[in-house]
Amino acid sequence: MSWFPEKRTQDSWVHRFCSSILKCGPIPNHVAFIMDGNRRFAKKNSMESAEGHLKGFDKLAETLEWCLHLGIKEVTVYAFSIENFKRSRDEVDCLMELARQKAKLNVCFSYTSREEICTAMRELAEGVEQGLIRETDVSEELLERCLYTNQSVEPDLLIRTSGEVRLSDFLLWQSTFSVLSFLEVLWPDFSIWHMYAAILHYQRSYAGIQDAKEENHRLKDQLSQESDKESILQETICSCGDKDQSEQCCHSDKCDLDLVSLRDKLNRFVGERKQREEEFIQKLNQKRDAFLENKLPARV
Ligand code: FPP
Ligand code: MG
């Protein structure tokens, strides 16, 4: 069964016109959705909650088609948080069945961001304990590579429906530079016009967000270089007899430590650190693949 509606909706000329205007500006590569408001929609229309979720599923299928036409390359949806397990057995079963029947899309199911970050931190601590990486190797970049979403780019735009203005533990780390769009519409009522409005909002915020991202990259590079340099200096014994001295020690008259050899040492150190990190991530991915292989039903 496909995530796309079996009967494709024909684009009206108005939609084609609006899409082509929007495509003159930047289009987000990755959009994340918090699809909220299914039960309020059901109540408003005198339906059972399960029917509200079904309408929500149909809306998801329709929305994926709009995303495809707009040139959005990646979509992440929050289908079920760990908190949602507290709901009634019938409702949980209904959502699980939907996921089972239609799961050809990567969906955040039984997910919370804080659990994801804790797991990543535990993996890093284990890596240090096993000697795969050093404590000083732990950085934002390495933690990011331990998140479940490590194969994805960060969402450029995050849309939440139903009027709630919070992230509900969804992609907290990944949404640092996402444009957030909180819409006053229940998810099953979400229309292409809401989608256009969110993209317009993204386009208006685009320049500011790009500047903030660049500044953040620059700062991260600087921090990483400083941390590598610090580690090297900690290991360096100058001929003046001092260990653990600051870089200035190497400039003193007494000290003949060659700055070129210090630079070589730094390059070697960075190379070795990157290799350690690659091997650690490779092992982590193998462990996760093996876990999923065990959990997923055998393919027929
Ligand atoms: C939030 O609305 C919605 C959910 C908890 C479920 C989201 C699931 C779908 C849209 C169906 C798609 C299913 C899959 C498997 C991808 P709510 O139940 O919190 O409604 P409320 O905010 O009105 O109470
Ligand atoms: Mg809700």
Q: Is 281 in the pocket of ligand 1 (CB under 6 A)?
A: no
Mean pLDDT over all residues of the chain? 86
**Alpha-carbon distance 97 to 89, whole Å?**
12
Provide the pLDDT confidence category of residue 1 given band limits of 50, 70 and 90. Answer: very low
- Atom index in ligand 1 nearest the CA of residue 41 equals 23
Ligand nearest to the CA of residue 87, numbered in listed order? 1
> Is the minimum distance from the CB of 138 to ligand 1 under 6 angstroms?
no
State percent of the chain over pLDDT 70.
Answer: 81
Q: How close is the Cα of 166 to the center of ligand 2, in Å?
A: 11
Q: Residues near 281 by Cβ (< 8 Å), separated by ≥ 6? A: 142, 145, 146
Terminal-residue alpha carbon distance, the chain: 16
Which is nearest to 234 in space by CA: 220, 249, 256, 251?
249
Q: Does the C-beta of 53 come closer than 6 Å to ligand 1?
A: yes
Ligand 1 midpoint to CA 218 (Å): 39
* Angle, helix 13-22 to helix 49-70, in steps of 10 degrees: 60
Please spell the DSSP secondary structure of 61-104, one letter per residue: HHHHHHHHHHT--EEEEEEEEGGGGGS-HHHHHHHHHHHHHH--
Taking alpha carbons only, the member of 5, 69, 81 closest to residue 36 is: 81
Residue with the smallest CA separation from ligand 1 atom 7 is: 79
Reply yes or no on whether the pLDDT at 245 is more than 90: no
The mean per-residue pLDDT over the stretch 192-208 comes to 97
Please, which pLDDT band fits residue 103 given cuts at 50, 70 and 90? confident
110-114 mean pLDDT: 92
57 lines ligand 1 (CB under 6 A): yes
> Closest residue (by CA) to atom 24 of ligand 1?
39
Cα 105 to ligand 1 centre (Å)? 16
Convert the pLDDT of each residue in 133-192 to its tens digit. Answer: 999 999 999 999 999 999 889 999 999 999 999 999 999 999 999 999 999 999 999 999
Question: For position 293, what pLDDT does the model report?
Answer: 79
Lowest pLDDT segment from 76-90, 140-154, 208-222, 240-254: 240-254
- pLDDT of 24 > 60? The answer is yes
Amino acid 21: pLDDT: 96
Chain mean position to CA 116: 10
Q: Which residue matches tokens 């979720």?
A: 53
**Closest ligand 1 atom to Cα of 80:** 5
**Tens of pLDDT, residues 66-101:** 988 898 988 999 987 666 666 777 877 776 676 666
Query: Ligand 1: which of 35, 78, 169 to mutate, most ligand atoms within 8 Å of CB?
Result: 35
The predicted pLDDT at position 105 comes to: 60
What is the pLDDT, as a whole number, of residue 12? 85
Angle separating helix axes 259-295 and 113-129, nearest 10 degrees: 120
Ligand 1 atom with the shortest distance to the CA of 186: 23
Strand, helix or coil for residue 265: helix
pLDDT computed for residue 210 by the predictor: 96
Which of 52-66, 188-202, 212-226, 252-266 is modeled with the greatest confidence?
188-202
Which ligand 1 atom minimizes the distance to the CA of 91?
Answer: 18
- For residue 84, give the ligand 1 atom closest to its CA: 5
Decide if pLDDT at 199 tops 90. yes
CA of 37 to the centre of ligand 2 (A): 5
Q: Write down the pLDDT at residue 228.
A: 87
4 alpha carbon – ligand 2 mean position (Å): 24
Task: Give the pLDDT score at 104.
Answer: 44
